[in-house]
Every structure is written in structure tokens, then in C-alpha cells.
Amino acid sequence: METPFDAVKSLKRKDIYTYQHSINVGIYSKNFALFLGSCDPETVFTCALFHDIGKLFINNRILKKKGRLTPEEFDAMKLHSCLSMEYLMKRGYNKEIYLSVYHHHEKYDGTGYPAGLKGDQIPLISQIISLCDCFDAMTSKRHYRNAMSHKEALDNLKASGGQFNPWLLDIFVSCINDIVYLPASLIRKNGFNNSKPTGF
């Protein structure tokens, strides 16, 4: 049977950044869940590895576009959370997993997508992924900007208004060094190239 690791490796052929980002968010989210103790770390790991798997079905012209997306392109890109959910439903993953993935772009103040959920309506696993997703995006080098330091990224998260659950954000900031610690055993076991481009 295809493992989550095999599946996410298919992203490597599509878009190396999304692949690397999925691995990073998987590890950060699992470590954060271990620290929180409120949900199963392995379930969180699976959800986080798969959160952007729907990007397999997004046109490369949009996925790898160097400039700013047009509103139409951004709408097409936003479909990836639904496509990720469909991917997982087709493969028999349970409701907790596919719904947590579906809602990973919701924001605590209700301004996110796809459902515009607010506050505690958003599954806790989705909230964990969202924080780790933004942190990794900011601390990774992109073709249009350098990577931020951990401190700059945390300052940005803290300045993001009501986008994140304040309780969860405080814990994330307080245990960031535990979250970004990368166990060598995980790298060896799965044969990933986990070296972050910069800022790690």
C-alpha cells in the first residue's frame, strides 16, 4: 500500500519547493503536536504531509509563476485545499484527516478559505498546520525574496492580527526551538533530503 511518504514524493516531480515545504510542515506540525499533547502526533503528521497534495493538480503555469497571481489565478490556486481533501477521500483516509487538510487555510478571524470558518470552528489540526505552514514559508528562500530569520518570522506571526488563535500562537512561539529540531532518525528512516534551503 502507498504510504504517506510515497505519496508526497510524487510532489517532488511536480514542484520541488512544495515537496520540501510539505516535509518541513509535516515535521514541525508533528513536533508541535507532541509538545501540545492535545491530538495524536501521527495523525497530525499525516495531515501536514498531505496538506498541499492537491497542488499536484494545479497547472504549473500558476503553481510556478514568478510574478504575482491574477485574481483568477489565485482563485484556481485556492482550489488546492479541496483537491487535497478529494485526494485523501479517494484513498480511504478518515474524516478527521481529510477535513483537517481541507481547512488548513482558514483563519481564526474568519477571513480564510474555503469555508470561512472562525475561531474554534476550525479543527485544531488545521490550526497547527496553518501556523507551521506560514512559519516555513517565511523562513524558506524563494526566488523573489530571501528567507527570514526565525525571529523575523515569529514577529510577523505575532503581528498578523487575528489570523491565528492567540493561545496556540503563544505556545508556538514559546516552543519554537523544539518544533524546528529535526530528528536525524526521521531523515535516515525515510531517505528525505531535509536540508532547508536557508534559515534553518
Question: Is the CB of 137 or the CB of 187 nearer to Fe ion?
Answer: 137
Minimum distance between the CB of residue 87 and Fe ion, rounded to whole angstroms? 13
Question: Is the CB of 52 or the CB of 136 nearer to Fe ion?
Answer: 52
Minimum distance between the CB of residue 56 and Fe ion, rounded to whole angstroms? 12
Nearest to 43 by CA among 91, 98, 90, 117: 98
- C-alpha–C-alpha distance, residues 34 and 80, integer Å: 27
Residue 76 in contact with residue 101, Cβ under 8 Å?
no
Quote the crossing angle between the two packed helices 16-36 and 124-139, to the nearest 10°: 130
Question: Is the CB of 52 or the CB of 148 nearer to Fe ion?
Answer: 52
DSSP 163-197: GS-HHHHHHHHHTHHHHH---HHHHHHHT-----S
Q: Which of the residues 162 through 181 are near Fe ion (CB under 5 A)?
A: none
Which residue's Cβ lies closest to Fe ion? 52
Distances (CA, A) of 34 to 27, 103, 175: 11, 21, 11
Question: Is the CB of 52 or the CB of 106 nearer to Fe ion?
Answer: 52
Residue 153 in contact with residue 28, Cβ under 8 Å?
no
Question: Is the CB of 15 or the CB of 52 nearer to Fe ion?
Answer: 52
Q: Which of the residues 35 through 54 are near Fe ion (CB under 5 A)?
A: 52
DSSP 110-149: S--SSS---GGGS-HHHHHHHHHHHHHHHHS-BTTBPPPP
Minimum distance between the CB of residue 130 and Fe ion, rounded to whole angstroms? 9
Residue 28 in contact with residue 135, Cβ under 8 Å?
yes
Question: Is the CB of 116 or the CB of 183 nearer to Fe ion?
Answer: 116
Query: Is residue 106 near Fe ion by the rule CB under 5 A?
Result: no
Minimum distance between the CB of residue 1 and Fe ion, rounded to whole angstroms? 25
Residue 51 in contact with residue 22, Cβ under 8 Å?
yes
Contact pattern for Fe ion over residues 48 through 87, marking x by CB under 5 A? ----x-----------------------------------
Residues engaged in binding Fe ion (CB under 5 A): 52
